[in-house]
């Protein structure tokens, strides 16, 4: 196994931090007074800056530093984050991302323009103080205060240097508050053999001679407060030496001009003997806050970053194991050796457990995907001048990581459609008595072995009459044909179908919904539309939990064996003589409901004579039910899905193949395609009967 490229690690970490940053900025647009959001954005920025510098992304570090500086007035609460400011900050975030992911595709001039915008916005209401003034003003002015200052003990977590944080920068920041006596505590430095060179062992004992309040000190350590112990006690009772001579001392050292902007740091020659406070027990109020402690403990729960391809590899191995186990079980069942049977059962149990664990390790909360759409909604809302509230629920719902990756594009399209076509313009909404702000809800929820993802808007709903007219115009249906609304809405998934009167950058070309449907069906899912005129549209995606291994129902048709995904199976019934007599009509009476069925023997051109008692497996996608008639139902089967080769890409009724216990292959039936096939047969039947 090869070690992961550190630069790649940084890119991945940065990617996560960008999501945090973007989320915080977007939330800030909604809740400009939320201090925690500002801090969260700054923490993300700070880590990107630190890590960027560490991994050689100097431009990233430099630009992020400028970004931080420009945004600092927001952090200090001097200005409020307006929507314009948030938009520029988001553009700055995008620029940093490009600098990391594709530096060749951008130019410094773009970065400068963004920074100019950022500076212009943050200095719009009052000019920012010159940098030099900020650097110079606080220390001495505060030193004249009656309060003597603070005694700090800084102990960082060992990993802190690895994430780009630099305690020396923090010490410098601290010294901007006033004269500091910094004493490094070297007790924790180990011998060479025991050392991890990237860990942090140094601690610091600092006396700050400034009348600043505790918040000012907390601000310095804001970004690392969860990764350090900061023990703080007032220095009021200590007779500290006057700070002024220390400044003089440093001046005499002829520190180069470049360093004069840096804070003054000096150390006491014999600090421990001089300072009783140094050994004093921290006061109760100086103890780290319980919340921070809790966070540290939480982090103690080990998590390991694993390359996605390794998880894929692991899943493949488990798949092979499941196949081998199936063969073993079959072999054991055919013999009479009890001990072999017991071992086979034990291995079956372990393989099943390993499969579940592996699949669990691949599960990712769908919230990681939902977060991306907030920016999409924000930008579309701005571009289309349609204020939209974006609400997400069920972010904790977990899906296989491959599913999450595949789901991104379809959801982008659905959300674009919802804003562009679904949500009405302001005037229309006002005329219909609706609030000015539209609403888009993106939700995920577990439903049995499936996950339902819904995109719901409170716009005008689908215009069924227009869809029908367009379908007639395109010759998809005969004029006057009797169709339900649901059937008419299905035309939206037809390639090249669009009812938009104008083509925009976003939609109207009729390319999209068919691709969405195909993508979802390729994931063995289904898509469903429901709409209420004037109240909005809901698109529901039904997805399996994983693409790798499924529970299947093994059936036999003639000599061949096939798998039907168990999640799609509603029930199994015997094909009665009455149903048999209905040959030609192909409808099954299931407790008073007529269900169309497909004879798989005919569909798959099976050889040999059919079994006397034919079985019907009722499958469903969304609200549509279809029966599949087979010769025999063999039973449940853990199905490791293998893709079909490119040579079979035009075979639509199979979604893949699997290997059975005896080493033979079985094809997996594509439920969505079979349902569509059955529906088209029903439609043809309708038309021929009408004729």
Partner 1 sequence: MSSDVTEPKWSLRLPADCSIAAIRSVYELIREAFGRQDRLEIDCSSVDKADVTSIQLLLSTAKTGEAQGRPVVLTSFSQSLRNTLRRAGIASDAMIDQHFPHKKDGT
Q: Which residues are known to be catalytic? A: 46, 68, 417
677 binds partner 1 (CB under 8 A): no
Q: Which residue's CB is nearer to partner 1, number 258 or number 427?
A: 258
* Among positions 109, 269, 338, 505, the unique one binding partner 1 when judged by CB under 8 A: 269
245 binds partner 1 (CB under 8 A): no
Q: What are the phi and psi torsion angles at 372 (to 5°)?
A: -65, -30
Binding mask 35-64 for partner 1 (x = CB under 8 A): -------------------xxx--------
Q: Give the total residue count for the chain.
A: 691
572 binds partner 1 (CB under 8 A): no
The region, left, alpha or beta by phi > 0 then psi within -120 to 50, assigned to residue 461 is left
Q: Which residue's CB is nearer to partner 1, number 201 or number 654?
A: 201
* Among positions 20, 128, 262, 412, the unique one binding partner 1 when judged by CB under 8 A: 262
Q: Which of residues 438-497 bind partner 1 (CB under 8 A)?
A: none
191 binds partner 1 (CB under 8 A): yes
d(CA 80, CA 77): 7
251 binds partner 1 (CB under 8 A): no
d(CA 60, CA 360): 36
What is the residue whose two structure tokens read 């809790």?
A: 294
d(CA 5, CA 124): 43
189 binds partner 1 (CB under 8 A): yes
DSSP state of 277: G
Q: Which stretch binds partner 1 (CB under 8 A): 21-29, 257-265, 278-286, 552-560?
A: 257-265
Q: Which residue's CB is nearer to partner 1, number 249 or number 361?
A: 249
- The b/e string for 672-687 (b: 16+ C-beta within 10 A; e otherwise) is bbbbbbbeeebeeeee
Q: Which stretch binds partner 1 (CB under 8 A): 102-110, 265-273, 400-408, 509-517?
A: 265-273
d(CA 272, CA 203): 14
195 binds partner 1 (CB under 8 A): yes
Rg (CA), the chain: 33
* Among positions 61, 114, 115, 182, the unique one binding partner 1 when judged by CB under 8 A: 182
Q: Which stretch binds partner 1 (CB under 8 A): 266-274, 276-284, 327-335, 541-549?
A: 266-274
Smallest distance, partner 1 to C-beta of residue 81, A = 33
d(CA 187, CA 174): 23
- Token pair, residue 177, equals 């508050």
Q: Which residue's CB is nearer to partner 1, number 48 or number 115?
A: 48
The residues, any chain, with a CB within 8 Å of residue 267's CB and separated by 6 or more, are 181, 182, 183, 184
Q: Which of residues 108-167 bind partner 1 (CB under 8 A)?
A: 161-162, 166-167
Smallest distance, partner 1 to C-beta of residue 310, A = 23
Q: Which residue's CB is nearer to partner 1, number 85 or number 210?
A: 210
- Is the Cβ–Cβ distance between 235 and 209 less than 8 Å? yes
Smallest distance, partner 1 to C-beta of residue 215, A = 24
- The b/e string for 261-286 (b: 16+ C-beta within 10 A; e otherwise) is eebbbbebeebeeebebbeeeeeeeb
Q: Which residue's CB is nearer to partner 1, number 47 or number 639?
A: 47
Q: Which stretch binds partner 1 (CB under 8 A): 183-191, 290-298, 521-529, 550-558?
A: 183-191
Smallest distance, partner 1 to C-beta of residue 620, A = 57
Q: How many residues bind partner 1 (CB under 8 A)?
A: 32
Q: Which residue's CB is nearer to partner 1, number 37 or number 48?
A: 48
d(CA 260, CA 348): 71
* Among positions 186, 484, 609, 645, the unique one binding partner 1 when judged by CB under 8 A: 186
Question: Strand ranges (DSSP E) for 291-384?
Answer: 363-365
Q: Which stretch binds partner 1 (CB under 8 A): 197-205, 278-286, 372-380, 645-653?
A: 197-205
Q: Which stretch binds partner 1 (CB under 8 A): 192-200, 284-292, 569-577, 648-656?
A: 192-200
The region, left, alpha or beta by phi > 0 then psi within -120 to 50, assigned to residue 624 is beta
What is the residue whose two structure tokens read 């998809």?
A: 476
d(CA 637, CA 644): 19
315 binds partner 1 (CB under 8 A): no
d(CA 658, CA 638): 9
243 binds partner 1 (CB under 8 A): no
Longest dimension (CA), the chain: 109
Q: Which residue's CB is nearer to partner 1, number 42 or number 204?
A: 204
d(CA 198, CA 201): 9
Nearest-10 crossing angle of helices 83-101, 108-122: 160
Q: Which stretch binds partner 1 (CB under 8 A): 114-122, 185-193, 284-292, 407-415?
A: 185-193
Kind plus residue range of the DSSP H or E element containing 592? none
Smallest distance, partner 1 to C-beta of residue 60, A = 14
* Among positions 200, 216, 377, 453, the unique one binding partner 1 when judged by CB under 8 A: 200
247 binds partner 1 (CB under 8 A): no
First and final CA of the chain: distance in angstroms?
Answer: 67
What is the residue whose two structure tokens read 């103690």?
A: 300
Q: Which stretch binds partner 1 (CB under 8 A): 88-96, 199-207, 324-332, 525-533?
A: 199-207
Q: Give, in degrees to the nearest 5, the angle at Cα 664 between 658 and 665.
A: 30
Kind plus residue range of the DSSP H or E element containing 567? none
252 binds partner 1 (CB under 8 A): no
201 binds partner 1 (CB under 8 A): yes
The residues, any chain, with a CB within 8 Å of residue 504's CB and separated by 6 or more, are 420
- Token pair, residue 29, equals 């647009």
**Which of 516, 476, 470 has the alpha carbon at shortest distance from 493?**
516
Q: What is the dihedral of CA 282, 283, 286, 289, to 10 degrees?
A: 100
Smallest distance, partner 1 to C-beta of residue 44, A = 20
Q: Which residue's CB is nearer to partner 1, number 248 or number 478?
A: 248
Binding mask 203-232 for partner 1 (x = CB under 8 A): -x----------------------------
Footprint of partner 1 on this chain (CB under 8 A)? 54-56, 161-162, 166-168, 171-172, 182-184, 186, 189-193, 195, 197-198, 200-202, 204, 259, 262, 265-267, 269
């Amino acid at each position: 196994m090869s070690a992961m490229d550190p630069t790649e690690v940084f890119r991945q970490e940065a990617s996560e931090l960008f999501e945090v940053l973007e989320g915080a900025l977007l939330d800030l647009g909604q809740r400009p007074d939320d201090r925690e959001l500002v801090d969260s954005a700054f923490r993300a920025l700070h880590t990107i800056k630190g890590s960027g510098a560490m991994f050689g992304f100097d431009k990233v570090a430099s630009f992020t530093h400028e970004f931080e500086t420009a945004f600092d007035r927001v952090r200090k609460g001097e200005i409020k984050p307006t929507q314009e400011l948030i938009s520029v900050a988001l553009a700055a975030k995008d620029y940093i991302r490009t600098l990391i992911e594709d530096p060749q595709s951008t130019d410094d001039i773009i970065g400068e323009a963004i920074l100019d915008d950022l500076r212009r916005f943050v200095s719009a209401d009052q000019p920012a103080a010159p940098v030099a003034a900020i650097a110079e003003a606080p220390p001495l002015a505060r030193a004249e205060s009656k309060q003597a200052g603070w005694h700090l003990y800084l102990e960082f977590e060992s990993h802190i240097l690895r994430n780009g944080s630099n305690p020396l920068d923090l010490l410098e920041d601290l010294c901007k508050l006033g004269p500091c006596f910094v004493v490094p505590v070297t007790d924790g430095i180990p011998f060479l053999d025991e050392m991890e060179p990237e860990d942090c062992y140094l601690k610091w004992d600092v006396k700050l001679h400034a009348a600043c309040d505790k918040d000012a000190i907390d601000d310095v350590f804001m970004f690392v407060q969860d990764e350090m112990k900061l023990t703080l006690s007032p220095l009021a009772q200590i007779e500290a030496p006057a700070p002024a001579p220390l400044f003089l001392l440093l001046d005499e050292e002829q520190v180069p001009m470049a360093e004069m902007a840096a804070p003054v740091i000096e150390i006491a020659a014999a600090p421990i003997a001089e300072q009783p406070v140094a050994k004093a027990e921290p006061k109760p109020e100086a103890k780290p806050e319980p919340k921070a402690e809790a966070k540290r403990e939480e982090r103690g729960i080990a998590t390991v970053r694993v390359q996605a391809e390794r998880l894929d590899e692991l899943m493949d191995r488990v798949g092979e194991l499941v196949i081998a186990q199936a063969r073993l079980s079959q072999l054991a069942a055919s013999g009479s050796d009890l001990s072999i049977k017991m071992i086979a059962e034990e291995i079956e149990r372990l393989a099943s457990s390993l499969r579940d664990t592996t699949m669990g390790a691949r599960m990712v909360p769908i919230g990681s995907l939902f977060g991306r759409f907030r920016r999409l909604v924000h930008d579309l809302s701005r571009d289309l001048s349609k204020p939209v509230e974006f609400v997400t629920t069920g972010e904790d719902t977990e899906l296989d990581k491959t599913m999450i990756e595949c789901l991104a594009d379809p959801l982008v399209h659905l959300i674009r459609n919802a804003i562009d076509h679904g949500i009405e313009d302001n005037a229309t909404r006002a005329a219909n008595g609706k609030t000015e702000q539209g609403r888009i809800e993106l939700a995920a929820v577990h439903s049995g072995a499936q996950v339902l993802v819904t995109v719901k808007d409170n716009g005008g709903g689908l215009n069924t009459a227009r869809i029908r007219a367009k379908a007639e115009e395109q010759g998809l249906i005969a004029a006057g044909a009797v169709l339900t609304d649901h059937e008419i809405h299905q035309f939206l998934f037809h390639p090249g179908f669009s009812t938009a009167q104008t083509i925009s950058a976003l939609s109207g070309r009729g390319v999209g919904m068919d691709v969405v449907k195909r993508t979802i069906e390729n994931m063995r899912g289904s898509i469903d539309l429901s709409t209420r005129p004037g109240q909005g549209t809901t698109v529901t995606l039904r997805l399996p939990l994983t693409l790798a291994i499924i529970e299947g129902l093994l059936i036999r048709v003639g000599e061949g064996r096939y798998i039907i995904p168990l999640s799609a199976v509603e029930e199994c019934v015997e094909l009665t003589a009455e149903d048999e007599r209905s040959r030609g009509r192909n409808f099954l009476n299931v407790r008073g409901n007529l269900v169309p069925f497909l004879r798989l023997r005919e569909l798959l051109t099976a050889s040999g004579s059919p079994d006397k008692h034919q079985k019907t497996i009722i499958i469903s996608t969304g609200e549509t039910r279809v029966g599949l008639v087979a010769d025999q139902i063999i039973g449940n089967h853990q199905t490791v899905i293998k893709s079909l080769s490119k040579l079979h890409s035009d075979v639509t009724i199979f979604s893949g193949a699997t290997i059975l216990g005896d080493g033979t292959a079985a094809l997996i039936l594509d439920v969505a395609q079979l349902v569509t096939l059955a529906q088209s047969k029903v439609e043809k039947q309708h038309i021929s009967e009408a004729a």
